Amino acid sequence: MDTQTTVTQEPQLALPEPAYLRTAREEVPVAAASELPRYRVLDIPFNPVDRETATQECFSAIDSERFHLLVTLGTEMVMNAQVNHTFKAIVEQADLVVPDGIGLVLAARLAGLEAPERVTGVELVHDLVSSSPEGTRFFFYGSSPGVAEMAVENMKEKIGPFECVGIKDGYVQDLEEVLTAIEQARPHVLFVALGSPRQEAFLADHRERLEKAGVRIGVGVGGSFDVYAGTVERAPQIAQRLHFEWLYRLWKQPSRWRRMLALPKFAIRVLLGPKRAVRVDR
């Protein structure tokens, strides 16, 4: 797990609330996940959905009777899937794969395809915690000891009350301890912040057991706990709008430079043939 850079600034929790979150979820028609459009970028699938559609899909999953695996796919993850076939298989089997990396969105547009926006793990955590049906239970697993606790406390203060039924840090060595805690808590939504591909592997490997424990959504959210805890500062809005969040992260966390090498490799492959690199899967 990468060493995180600690900052003293107050966590940036006041994300703008989209209008759709103020609309009753029953009033918004939701397409079944199997009906959502799907593209392939370098043969890795993702659903080119916007934040509203992703959130509504999650609301639908919470009301269902089965477990749903949601992947927040970044550019680095696409490149990892080129060589990690186990991880690629997990993404193939996911119920919903949202484009967390701006590279996926830009690549699709370069190929002449419609791609509304990136949908980040940080935003999904915010939207689900702030707007899920009353009584929705949340479990936070991952990150360094104490980080998830701070994240939950800050979110309750800034977003409002919600039902957190369990927390386990990512340094617990005994996975059985984690799984037992989840089974006892019976959450609807499980946020996992272990870093990719570890977080997706945990959800895929224990899918059946999580379903029996009442989990309806399992989603890997990377460093989202650190953002809400205030131990990592998210890029300013101007950097996000200009698609330079990756550069800001590299500046704040230079230890990420090896991982960032995936970005130019991705860009070169897309630019050499965008319509071959990105295609419609359905």
Looking at the whole model, is its pTM more than 0.95?
Answer: no
Q: Is residue 93 part of a domain?
A: no
**Scanning the structure block, which residue is given the tokens 């918004």?**
28
Q: Is residue 257 part of a domain?
A: yes
Q: What pLDDT, in 10s, does the model give residues 33-64?
A: 558 999 999 999 999 999 999 999 999 999 99
Q: Is residue 204 part of a domain?
A: yes
Q: How confident is the model at residue 5 (pLDDT cuts 50, 70, 90)?
A: very low
Mean pLDDT on 74-93:
96
Between CA 149 and CA 146 the distance in angstroms is: 5
Question: What domain count does the chain have?
Answer: 1
Q: What pLDDT, in 10s, does the model give residues 11-31?
A: 445 454 555 454 434 444 444
Q: Is residue 33 part of a domain?
A: no
- β-bridge partners, 139: 166, 190
Mean pLDDT on 122-135:
95
Chain Cα centroid distance, residue 66: 19
Mean pLDDT on 71-96:
97
**pLDDT score for 232:** 75
Which of 72-76, 141-145, 224-228, 245-249 bottoms out in mean pLDDT, i.e. has the lowest?
245-249
Q: Is residue 36 part of a domain?
A: no
The domain in which residue 128 lies consists of: 65-78+103-275
**pLDDT score for 28:** 40
Q: Is residue 22 part of a domain?
A: no
Q: Is residue 147 part of a domain?
A: yes
Q: Could you give the residue ranges of the DSSP H alpha helices within the chain?
A: 51-62, 75-83, 85-93, 102-110, 121-131, 147-158, 175-185, 198-205, 207-212, 224-229, 237-241, 245-252, 257-260, 262-272, 274-277
